Amino acid sequence: MTSIDAGPFGALRVAPSILAADFGSLASAVREIDAETDWLHVDVMDGHFVPNVSIGPPVVKSLRQYSARFFDCHLMMSEPGRYLEAFRAAGADGCTVHVEVGSTATLIDEAHSMGLRVGLAANPDTPFSKVAPFLGDIDLLLFMTVFPGFGGQSFIGDVMGKVNEARREVDANELALDIEVDGGIDLETAPIAVDAGANVLVAGSAIFNRPDPLEAAHELRVAARSARS
Ligand code: DX5
Ligand code: ZN
Protein backbone atom coordinates (compact mmCIF):
# COMPACT_ATOMS: atom_id res chain seq x y z
CA MET A 1 0.00 0.00 0.00
CA THR A 2 1.26 3.48 -0.79
CA SER A 3 2.22 4.87 2.57
CA ILE A 4 3.01 8.43 1.57
CA ASP A 5 1.18 10.82 -0.71
CA ALA A 6 3.28 11.66 -3.76
CA GLY A 7 1.67 15.10 -4.05
CA PRO A 8 -0.33 16.48 -6.98
CA PHE A 9 0.59 15.32 -10.47
CA GLY A 10 2.60 17.86 -12.42
CA ALA A 11 3.89 19.83 -9.42
CA LEU A 12 7.53 20.80 -9.53
CA ARG A 13 9.58 18.39 -7.44
CA VAL A 14 13.20 17.93 -6.49
CA ALA A 15 14.25 14.29 -6.07
CA PRO A 16 17.77 13.93 -4.65
CA SER A 17 19.44 10.71 -5.79
CA ILE A 18 21.18 9.02 -2.89
CA LEU A 19 23.51 7.25 -5.33
CA ALA A 20 25.81 10.25 -4.98
CA ALA A 21 25.64 10.33 -1.16
CA ASP A 22 28.20 8.78 1.19
CA PHE A 23 26.92 5.22 1.65
CA GLY A 24 28.72 5.08 4.99
CA SER A 25 26.40 7.71 6.41
CA LEU A 26 23.25 7.51 4.33
CA ALA A 27 20.87 8.20 7.20
CA SER A 28 22.47 11.53 8.02
CA ALA A 29 22.79 12.42 4.32
CA VAL A 30 19.05 11.86 3.87
CA ARG A 31 18.16 13.82 7.00
CA GLU A 32 20.43 16.69 6.06
CA ILE A 33 18.56 17.38 2.81
CA ASP A 34 15.09 16.57 4.09
CA ALA A 35 13.73 20.14 4.01
CA GLU A 36 14.48 20.40 0.27
CA THR A 37 13.46 16.84 -0.64
CA ASP A 38 10.11 16.23 -2.31
CA TRP A 39 10.87 12.68 -3.33
CA LEU A 40 13.89 10.60 -2.39
CA HIS A 41 15.27 8.92 -5.51
CA VAL A 42 16.70 5.45 -4.91
CA ASP A 43 18.78 4.03 -7.76
CA VAL A 44 18.67 0.24 -7.84
CA MET A 45 21.20 -1.43 -10.15
CA ASP A 46 21.41 -5.17 -10.68
CA GLY A 47 24.75 -5.56 -12.47
CA HIS A 48 22.89 -6.97 -15.47
CA PHE A 49 20.58 -4.36 -16.95
CA VAL A 50 23.35 -1.88 -16.13
CA PRO A 51 27.05 -2.55 -15.50
CA ASN A 52 26.93 -1.52 -11.85
CA VAL A 53 25.48 -2.74 -8.55
CA SER A 54 24.02 -0.38 -5.95
CA ILE A 55 21.14 -0.55 -3.49
CA GLY A 56 18.52 -3.17 -2.61
CA PRO A 57 15.46 -3.56 -0.37
CA PRO A 58 17.39 -3.77 2.94
CA VAL A 59 18.76 -0.25 2.42
CA VAL A 60 15.27 1.05 1.58
CA LYS A 61 13.96 -0.58 4.76
CA SER A 62 16.67 1.02 6.91
CA LEU A 63 16.25 4.46 5.35
CA ARG A 64 12.49 4.32 5.88
CA GLN A 65 13.18 4.98 9.57
CA TYR A 66 14.89 8.25 8.75
CA SER A 67 12.64 9.81 6.13
CA ALA A 68 8.91 10.34 5.70
CA ARG A 69 9.36 11.47 2.09
CA PHE A 70 8.03 9.65 -0.97
CA PHE A 71 10.54 6.92 -1.89
CA ASP A 72 10.90 6.94 -5.68
CA CYS A 73 12.69 3.68 -6.51
CA HIS A 74 14.26 3.50 -9.96
CA LEU A 75 14.73 -0.17 -10.80
CA MET A 76 17.53 -0.54 -13.31
CA MET A 77 17.00 -4.28 -13.37
CA SER A 78 16.48 -6.92 -16.03
CA GLU A 79 13.86 -8.69 -13.92
CA PRO A 80 12.15 -6.02 -11.81
CA GLY A 81 9.03 -8.17 -11.38
CA ARG A 82 10.94 -10.50 -9.08
CA TYR A 83 11.64 -7.67 -6.64
CA LEU A 84 8.59 -5.38 -6.67
CA GLU A 85 7.05 -6.98 -3.60
CA ALA A 86 10.35 -6.82 -1.70
CA PHE A 87 10.67 -3.10 -2.44
CA ARG A 88 7.06 -2.48 -1.47
CA ALA A 89 7.50 -4.36 1.78
CA ALA A 90 10.71 -2.43 2.50
CA GLY A 91 8.85 0.89 2.20
CA ALA A 92 9.03 1.97 -1.44
CA ASP A 93 6.18 4.31 -2.43
CA GLY A 94 6.78 4.20 -6.17
CA CYS A 95 8.72 1.85 -8.39
CA THR A 96 9.88 2.69 -11.90
CA VAL A 97 10.70 -0.08 -14.37
CA HIS A 98 12.48 0.29 -17.70
CA VAL A 99 10.50 -0.17 -20.91
CA GLU A 100 13.56 -1.84 -22.47
CA VAL A 101 13.12 -4.94 -20.27
CA GLY A 102 9.73 -5.79 -21.79
CA SER A 103 6.60 -7.32 -20.13
CA THR A 104 5.64 -3.71 -19.48
CA ALA A 105 1.86 -4.13 -19.20
CA THR A 106 2.25 -7.03 -16.75
CA LEU A 107 4.78 -5.16 -14.61
CA ILE A 108 2.53 -2.09 -14.45
CA ASP A 109 -0.45 -4.19 -13.37
CA GLU A 110 1.56 -6.09 -10.76
CA ALA A 111 3.02 -2.96 -9.22
CA HIS A 112 -0.36 -1.19 -9.16
CA SER A 113 -2.03 -4.19 -7.56
CA MET A 114 0.49 -3.91 -4.71
CA GLY A 115 -0.50 -0.27 -4.19
CA LEU A 116 2.72 1.13 -5.62
CA ARG A 117 2.81 4.24 -7.74
CA VAL A 118 4.23 3.08 -11.07
CA GLY A 119 6.79 4.69 -13.31
CA LEU A 120 8.07 3.75 -16.75
CA ALA A 121 11.62 4.70 -17.73
CA ALA A 122 13.19 5.14 -21.16
CA ASN A 123 16.90 5.22 -21.95
CA PRO A 124 18.23 8.15 -24.01
CA ASP A 125 18.13 6.13 -27.24
CA THR A 126 14.68 4.60 -26.69
CA PRO A 127 12.09 6.36 -28.84
CA PHE A 128 8.98 7.98 -27.37
CA SER A 129 6.85 5.54 -29.38
CA LYS A 130 7.94 2.72 -27.01
CA VAL A 131 6.43 4.39 -23.93
CA ALA A 132 3.54 6.21 -25.60
CA PRO A 133 1.12 3.22 -25.49
CA PHE A 134 1.36 3.11 -21.69
CA LEU A 135 0.81 6.78 -20.83
CA GLY A 136 -2.73 6.22 -19.60
CA ASP A 137 -1.68 3.34 -17.34
CA ILE A 138 1.25 4.79 -15.41
CA ASP A 139 1.85 7.53 -12.84
CA LEU A 140 5.31 8.62 -13.92
CA LEU A 141 7.33 8.77 -17.09
CA LEU A 142 11.09 8.87 -16.52
CA PHE A 143 13.34 10.07 -19.30
CA MET A 144 16.97 9.15 -18.72
CA THR A 145 19.19 12.09 -19.65
CA VAL A 146 22.29 9.89 -19.33
CA PHE A 147 22.79 6.21 -20.07
CA PRO A 148 21.92 4.52 -16.76
CA GLY A 149 24.52 2.89 -14.55
CA PHE A 150 26.59 5.70 -13.10
CA GLY A 151 26.18 9.08 -11.49
CA GLY A 152 28.18 12.12 -12.51
CA GLN A 153 27.68 11.88 -16.28
CA SER A 154 26.85 14.75 -18.66
CA PHE A 155 23.25 15.66 -19.52
CA ILE A 156 22.16 14.55 -23.01
CA GLY A 157 20.21 17.54 -24.32
CA ASP A 158 18.75 15.64 -27.28
CA VAL A 159 16.38 13.88 -24.88
CA MET A 160 14.45 17.16 -24.48
CA GLY A 161 12.65 16.49 -27.76
CA LYS A 162 11.02 13.43 -26.18
CA VAL A 163 10.24 15.31 -22.97
CA ASN A 164 8.50 17.96 -25.01
CA GLU A 165 6.57 15.38 -26.99
CA ALA A 166 5.44 13.69 -23.78
CA ARG A 167 4.42 16.98 -22.14
CA ARG A 168 2.26 17.90 -25.14
CA GLU A 169 0.60 14.49 -25.06
CA VAL A 170 0.03 14.60 -21.29
CA ASP A 171 -1.46 18.10 -21.39
CA ALA A 172 -3.59 17.50 -24.49
CA ASN A 173 -5.14 14.40 -22.92
CA GLU A 174 -5.20 15.75 -19.36
CA LEU A 175 -3.32 12.71 -18.11
CA ALA A 176 -2.44 12.36 -14.42
CA LEU A 177 1.23 11.79 -15.04
CA ASP A 178 4.52 13.16 -13.76
CA ILE A 179 7.43 13.61 -16.15
CA GLU A 180 10.82 13.02 -14.52
CA VAL A 181 14.34 13.55 -15.83
CA ASP A 182 17.37 11.77 -14.41
CA GLY A 183 21.05 12.26 -15.13
CA GLY A 184 23.31 15.30 -15.28
CA ILE A 185 20.70 17.61 -13.77
CA ASP A 186 22.28 20.73 -12.27
CA LEU A 187 21.69 24.47 -12.03
CA GLU A 188 22.28 24.87 -15.75
CA THR A 189 20.31 21.88 -17.06
CA ALA A 190 17.37 21.89 -14.60
CA PRO A 191 15.74 24.96 -16.24
CA ILE A 192 16.25 23.39 -19.68
CA ALA A 193 14.44 20.24 -18.57
CA VAL A 194 11.61 22.20 -16.95
CA ASP A 195 11.25 24.34 -20.06
CA ALA A 196 10.91 21.15 -22.10
CA GLY A 197 8.12 19.92 -19.82
CA ALA A 198 9.67 17.90 -16.99
CA ASN A 199 8.29 18.43 -13.49
CA VAL A 200 10.37 16.00 -11.39
CA LEU A 201 14.11 16.62 -11.29
CA VAL A 202 16.45 13.88 -10.08
CA ALA A 203 19.86 15.11 -9.04
CA GLY A 204 22.71 13.25 -7.40
CA SER A 205 26.10 14.87 -7.95
CA ALA A 206 24.68 18.40 -8.13
CA ILE A 207 23.39 17.97 -4.58
CA PHE A 208 25.62 15.55 -2.70
CA ASN A 209 28.95 16.56 -4.25
CA ARG A 210 28.48 20.11 -3.04
CA PRO A 211 29.81 21.28 0.36
CA ASP A 212 26.28 22.16 1.48
CA PRO A 213 23.82 19.65 -0.05
CA LEU A 214 20.76 21.33 1.50
CA GLU A 215 21.66 24.67 -0.04
CA ALA A 216 22.45 22.95 -3.36
CA ALA A 217 19.00 21.32 -3.42
CA HIS A 218 17.41 24.66 -2.60
CA GLU A 219 19.29 26.39 -5.42
CA LEU A 220 18.17 23.68 -7.81
CA ARG A 221 14.55 24.28 -6.82
CA VAL A 222 14.92 28.03 -7.33
CA ALA A 223 16.55 27.50 -10.76
CA ALA A 224 13.76 25.11 -11.79
CA ARG A 225 11.05 27.51 -10.57
CA SER A 226 12.56 30.35 -12.55
CA ALA A 227 12.06 28.32 -15.73
CA ARG A 228 8.39 27.86 -14.89
CA SER A 229 7.62 31.50 -14.23
C1 DX5 B 1 21.96 6.88 -13.27
C2 DX5 B 1 20.97 7.12 -12.15
C3 DX5 B 1 20.81 8.54 -11.77
C4 DX5 B 1 22.06 9.17 -11.30
C5 DX5 B 1 21.94 10.66 -11.31
O6 DX5 B 1 21.96 5.54 -13.60
O7 DX5 B 1 19.69 6.65 -12.51
O8 DX5 B 1 19.80 8.72 -10.80
O9 DX5 B 1 22.41 8.75 -10.03
O10 DX5 B 1 23.16 11.13 -10.91
P11 DX5 B 1 23.73 12.53 -11.37
O12 DX5 B 1 22.79 13.56 -10.90
O13 DX5 B 1 25.06 12.56 -10.71
O14 DX5 B 1 23.82 12.48 -12.88
ZN1 ZN C 1 17.75 7.14 -11.25
- pLDDT reported for residue 5: 84
Cα 109 to ligand 2 centroid, rounded to whole Å:
22
On whether the CB atoms of residues 141 and 163 are closer than 8 A, the answer is: no
The residues assigned a catalytic role are: 43, 182
Q: Which ligand 1 atom is nearest residue 45's CA?
A: 6
User: Given a cut of 60, is residue 2 above it in pLDDT?
Assistant: no
- CA dist 25 and 48 (Å) reads 27
**What are the pLDDT digits (tens) for 101-119?**
999 999 999 999 999 999 9
Of all ligands present, the nearest one to the C-alpha of 73 is 2
Cα distances (Å, whole numbers) of residue 180 to 41, 52, 122, 210: 11, 22, 11, 22
Ligand nearest to the CA of 153: 1
Domains of the chain (ranges; CATH) run 13-226 (3.20.20.70)
Q: What is the pLDDT of residues 139-152, one digit of tens each?
A: 999 999 999 999 99
- Cα 94 to its chain centre, rounded Å, is 9
Residues with CB under 6 A from ligand 1: 17, 19-20, 41, 43, 74, 146, 148-149, 151-153, 182-185, 202-206
pTM of the full predicted structure? 0.97
